[in-house]
Amino acid sequence: MGLLSEGSPLSWEKTKELSDHVRKHGIIQFINLYHRLKNRQGDVLKWGDEVEYIIVKFNHQKKIAQVSLRAQEILNKLQEKELLNPNGVKSLWRPEYSAYMIEGTPGKPYGGLLAHFNIVEANMRYRREEATELLNSDEVVMSLTSFPRLGCLNFTNPPYKPTPNQGASRSLFIPDETIFPGHPRFITLTRNIRLRRGEKVAINVPVFKDKNTKSPLTDDFEALCDESGESAKAAKPDHVYMDAMAFGMGCGCLQLTFQACNITEARMLYDQLTPLCPIMLALTAASPVHRGMLTDIDCRWSIISGSVDCRTREERGLEPLKKNKFQIPKSRYDSIDSYLSEQGEKFNDVPVIYDEKIYKQLREADIDHLLAQHISHLFIRDTVSLFSEKVDQDDMKDTDHFENIQSTNWQTMRFKPPPPNSTIGWRVEFRPCEVQLTDFENAAIVCFVVLLTRVILSYHLNFIIPISKVDENMTKAQKRDALKKELFWFRKDITTQVSPPHATAQCHSCSSESPELYTAMTIDHIINGKEGEFPGLIPLINSYLSVMDVDADTHCTIQQYLKLIQKRASGSLLTTASWIRNFVQTHPKYMKDSVVTDEINYDLLLTATKIQKGEITCPELHGHCTKMSKTQENIPEAVSKLYPCT
Ligand code: ADP
Ligand code: MG
Ligand code: MG
């Protein structure tokens, strides 16, 4: 997110009173911005990544690793350069939900040159080094999806006690000091989501049942001071129970944003990337341990979805609708419910809940059905954080009320209109990926997805399957070892009538066999292809690259990235989640009881830091493809060559 504007948050009561005001002006603002910008043309490809880091503090004497709550202090220093010279920095730093997290992006978006793929990793490494310089000697910035012992006794440094009966979270496990203190947005969201819902969030993840796992597995709620009995009621046996926003929003992730040449292309890319969300989630799975327990899932997604689920009991369908307008099947953090392009329209097969009045207003303002449906769907949500300075706005110029609702619909894909008064065009954000330990892996994922967008556009590919099937894939993608064990719905024939002949060569034969457009495939088949049946995403990328003019050094970098993705997809390299699982299960102190003790956590994270620094190799995760290209070894030179203006 951009630099957060400062301000004073309103109470929940006041915010609630103003929810229709925010919606009303948000929609007017959208209509105005749409008509101002709908014909904007000719924007070029620009793109950038966002990496979220967790600051970990090691105590080598006691063999413990904790999250270090120094993000604000470190962030203030990281932002100094940007404040002095906003357009001349190689990195931008932003706060994140937790007091132990920071988010880094490149100083400027990358552009359409293939050579830019050759500086992504170097820029990530630069960011990591920049942050590392500000740390104490016992701290490390880690690109970890989940901190394994989040919510366990004394998991923070300095230590704080949870306050189950007061404060914003009221968690039995997470002290409010874990929330980023430097901006009121985060604590306000935490409080308001709990108050809107009418109870604490409740997340139950099935435990991984090992030989000696306690059964039934339950928490001792009396000892945890659950005075109201709320948690005891919400927790399911044999599940890891979590009761705070931090369990999800305190996870790290990897996101990318692309600029399209116009609104139509943005809508098309939004749709085409949607079926890839679960595939990329399974491929990047990196979070099998939560609250100190091995679980039966490999990803954070369902946890983060539950962690900000502000729906009331009525909205969740547990009680008849009286005070609320809608029953809503999904949390505001979830997979998307509808496609936005004409090609996608007939595949919108799940009920899209939307506000009829808002839909009508948008239609009357000459906004087409699909976009009106999308926006009126986002606007079934109430604002969950409002600042007094932002209540009254100029709807012709400002877009804050629109952004208020838009930016708290945390979905797998985000369709982003151009911000007011900027040179930025229509963009699409790809949001499912889990973050990996090393810059190499993160750069590989980012470059793979960006290359895929180029292939989709050049070859006019079509990945669209019914949204209900994408949702099924989302559920499968998070299961333990999904990459190897699950089959995913994927479109059989991804070519279109306008696809060039070389993209069609391998795949037309299959379309006549069955009336269904899609079939169940392994991720290996989807990514690497299957002779005579499916061309595979990597072979398509390679075919695209073969006619492009690319320097040898960049070529070599891209090939290393593709090799990594190829091997992860085929299962010959482990996902980060499987690697973490194996580490825990083969640790000499592991008691086969699913528990990730302080000592196991310490050893795991220490090994991970050595891998991320390149001090030890990890062939199970990376094979032998991690050597940096010549360009990347010389970051300043590479960056100044490609960005002559910095
Ligand atoms: P968010 O909506 O997630 O808060 P931001 O607007 O802060 O995201 O931008 C996130 C990413 O978008 C960064 O990686 C940044 O480099 C990239 N970005 C910035 N400008 C553009 C642009 N014009 N087109 C595409 N991506 C851009
Ligand atoms: Mg972020
Ligand atoms: Mg983002």
Q: Tell me the pLDDT tens digit for each residue of 163-192.
A: 999 999 999 999 999 999 999 999 999 999
Q: Is 419 in the pocket of ligand 1 (CB under 6 A)?
A: no
Ligand 2 midpoint to CA 100 (Å): 13
Q: CA-to-CA distance for 35 and 42, rounded, in angstroms?
A: 17
Ligand 1 midpoint to CA 221 (Å): 43
Please indicate, yes or no, if residue 191 is contained in any of the structural domains.
no
Q: Which of 23-27, 89-93, 507-511 has the lowest mean pLDDT?
A: 507-511
Output the CA torsion 567→520→339→343 (10° steps).
Answer: 100
Burial annotation 572-604 (CB, 10 A radius, 16+ → b, else e): ebbbbbbbbbebbeebeebeebbbbbbbbbbbb
Ligand 1 midpoint to CA 109 (Å): 7
- Ligand 1 atom with the shortest distance to the CA of 424: 23
Q: Which ligand is nearest to the CA of 48?
A: 1
Q: Is the pLDDT of residue 56 over 60?
A: yes
Question: Is the distance from CB of 344 to CB of 350 less than 8 angstroms?
Answer: no
Question: Is the distance from CB of 130 to CB of 210 less than 8 angstroms?
Answer: no
Burial annotation 293-318 (CB, 10 A radius, 16+ → b, else e): bbbbbbbbbbbbbbbbbbbbebbeee
Q: CA-to-CA distance for 205 and 470, rounded, in angstroms?
A: 21
Ligand 2 midpoint to CA 400 (Å): 18
Residue having the nearest C-alpha atom to atom 9 of ligand 1: 1
Residue having the nearest C-alpha atom to atom 13 of ligand 1: 48
Pocket test for ligand 1, best of 1, 257, 258, 446 (most atoms within 8 A of CB): 257
Please indicate, yes or no, if residue 451 is contained in any of the structural domains.
yes
Please indicate, yes or no, if residue 41 is contained in any of the structural domains.
no
**Rounded mean pLDDT, 545-564:** 95
pLDDT score recorded for residue 81: 92
Q: Is the pLDDT of residue 86 over 50?
A: yes
Q: Is 49 in the pocket of ligand 1 (CB under 6 A)?
A: yes
Q: Is 173 in the pocket of ligand 1 (CB under 6 A)?
A: no
Please indicate, yes or no, if residue 455 is contained in any of the structural domains.
yes
Q: Is 344 in the pocket of ligand 1 (CB under 6 A)?
A: no
Ligand 2 midpoint to CA 632 (Å): 25
Residue having the nearest C-alpha atom to atom 19 of ligand 1: 109
Question: Is the distance from CB of 293 to CB of 151 less than 8 angstroms?
Answer: no
- Ligand 1 atom with the shortest distance to the CA of 416: 2
pLDDT score recorded for residue 497: 81
Q: Which residue has better confidence, 151 or 632?
A: 151
Q: CA-to-CA distance for 435 and 104, rounded, in angstroms?
A: 12
CB atoms under 10 Å from CB of 571, counted, come to 16
pLDDT score recorded for residue 498: 85
Regarding beta strands 101-106 and 91-95, do their DSSP bridges make them parallel or antiparallel, or are they unpaired? antiparallel
Q: CA-to-CA distance for 282 and 271, rounded, in angstroms?
A: 19
Q: Which ligand is nearest to the CA of 407?
A: 1
> pTM for the whole thing?
0.96
Burial annotation 71-83 (CB, 10 A radius, 16+ → b, else e): beebbeebbebbe
- Ligand 1 atom with the shortest distance to the CA of 49: 14
Work out the burial of residue 514: count CB atoms within 10 Å of its CB; fewer than 13 is exposed, 13-18 middle, 19 or more buried.
exposed
**Rounded mean pLDDT, 56-75:** 98
Q: CA-to-CA distance for 288 and 347, rounded, in angstroms?
A: 32
**Using a CB cutoff of 8 Å and minimum separation of 24, what contacts does 310-313 make?**
310/192, 310/193, 310/196, 310/197, 310/381, 310/382, 310/384, 311/197, 312/196, 312/197, 312/198, 313/198, 313/199
Question: Is the distance from CB of 609 to CB of 602 less than 8 angstroms?
Answer: no
**Rounded mean pLDDT, 381-400:** 96
Ligand 1 midpoint to CA 434 (Å): 18
- DSSP category for residue 366: T
Q: Is 423 in the pocket of ligand 1 (CB under 6 A)?
A: no
Model pLDDT for residues 334-365, shown as the tens digit of each residue: 999 999 999 999 999 999 999 999 999 999 99
- Ligand 1 atom with the shortest distance to the CA of 419: 6
Q: Is the pLDDT of residue 639 over 70?
A: no
Q: CA-to-CA distance for 73 and 470, rounded, in angstroms?
A: 41
Ligand 3 midpoint to CA 597 (Å): 32
Model pLDDT for residues 395-410, shown as the tens digit of each residue: 999 999 999 999 999 9
pLDDT score recorded for residue 624: 78
pLDDT score recorded for residue 627: 59
Model pLDDT for residues 469-484, shown as the tens digit of each residue: 999 999 999 999 999 9
Output the CA torsion 381→463→428→26 (10° steps).
Answer: -30
Q: Which residue has better confidence, 624 or 101?
A: 101
Domain count across the chain: 1
Output the CA torsion 50→575→597→64 (10° steps).
Answer: -50
Q: Is 462 in the pocket of ligand 1 (CB under 6 A)?
A: no
Q: Amino acid identity of 482?
A: A
Q: Is the pLDDT of residue 509 over 50?
A: no
Q: Is the pLDDT of residue 427 over 90?
A: yes
Q: Is 2 in the pocket of ligand 1 (CB under 6 A)?
A: yes
Q: Amino acid identity of 612?
A: Q
Helix (H, G, I), strand (E, B) or coil at 318: coil
Question: Is the distance from CB of 330 to CB of 316 less than 8 angstroms?
Answer: no
Q: Which ligand is nearest to the CA of 260?
A: 1
Ligand 1 midpoint to CA 255 (Å): 10
Q: CA-to-CA distance for 23 and 405, rounded, in angstroms?
A: 8
Q: Amino acid identity of 406?
A: Q
Q: Amino acid identity of 222?
A: E
Model pLDDT for residues 454-466, shown as the tens digit of each residue: 999 999 999 999 9
pLDDT score recorded for residue 635: 59
Place of tokens 């989640």: 577
Regarding beta strands 410-411 and 333-334, do their DSSP bridges make them parallel or antiparallel, or are they unpaired? parallel
Residues paired with residue 68 on neighbouring β-strands, in sequence order: 157
Q: Is 258 in the pocket of ligand 1 (CB under 6 A)?
A: yes
Residue having the nearest C-alpha atom to atom 1 of ligand 1: 1
Average pLDDT taken over every residue of the chain: 94
Please indicate, yes or no, if residue 543 is contained in any of the structural domains.
yes
Residue having the nearest C-alpha atom to atom 15 of ligand 1: 48
Q: Is 612 in the pocket of ligand 1 (CB under 6 A)?
A: no
User: CA 332 → CA 168, 315, 322, 350, distances in Å?
Assistant: 19, 12, 21, 16
pLDDT score recorded for residue 512: 46
Q: Choose among 112, 86, 110, 59: nearest CA to 3.
A: 86
Q: Is 46 in the pocket of ligand 1 (CB under 6 A)?
A: yes
Q: CA-to-CA distance for 566 and 63, rounded, in angstroms?
A: 37
Ligand 1 midpoint to CA 262 (Å): 16
Place of tokens 């620094």: 613
Domain limits at 475? 439-642
Structure tokens at 189: 């969201």
Residues with CB under 5 A from ligand 3 (ion): 50, 255
pLDDT score recorded for residue 633: 65
Q: Is 408 in the pocket of ligand 1 (CB under 6 A)?
A: no
- DSSP category for residue 595: B
Residue having the nearest C-alpha atom to atom 4 of ligand 1: 1
**Rounded mean pLDDT, 625-643:** 61
Please indicate, yes or no, if residue 612 is contained in any of the structural domains.
yes
**Rounded mean pLDDT, 526-537:** 96
Q: Is 431 in the pocket of ligand 1 (CB under 6 A)?
A: no
Say if residue 158 is preceded by a cis peptide, omega within 30 of 0.
yes
Ligand 1 midpoint to CA 235 (Å): 38
Model pLDDT for residues 247-261, shown as the tens digit of each residue: 999 999 999 999 999
Place of tokens 């094979």: 623
- Ligand 1 atom with the shortest distance to the CA of 407: 2
Q: Is 50 in the pocket of ligand 1 (CB under 6 A)?
A: yes
Q: Is 149 in the pocket of ligand 1 (CB under 6 A)?
A: no
- The angle at the Cα of 458, spanning 456 to 462, to the nearest 5 degrees, equals 35
Structure tokens at 39: 């014909």
Ligand 2 midpoint to CA 255 (Å): 8
Q: Is 29 in the pocket of ligand 1 (CB under 6 A)?
A: no
Q: Is the pLDDT of residue 447 over 80?
A: yes
pLDDT score recorded for residue 181: 96
Q: Amino acid identity of 377?
A: H
Residue having the nearest C-alpha atom to atom 26 of ligand 1: 47
- Ligand 1 atom with the shortest distance to the CA of 110: 16
Please indicate, yes or no, if residue 39 is contained in any of the structural domains.
no
Ligand 3 midpoint to CA 91 (Å): 15
- DSSP category for residue 277: H
Q: Is 257 in the pocket of ligand 1 (CB under 6 A)?
A: yes
Please indicate, yes or no, if residue 170 is contained in any of the structural domains.
no
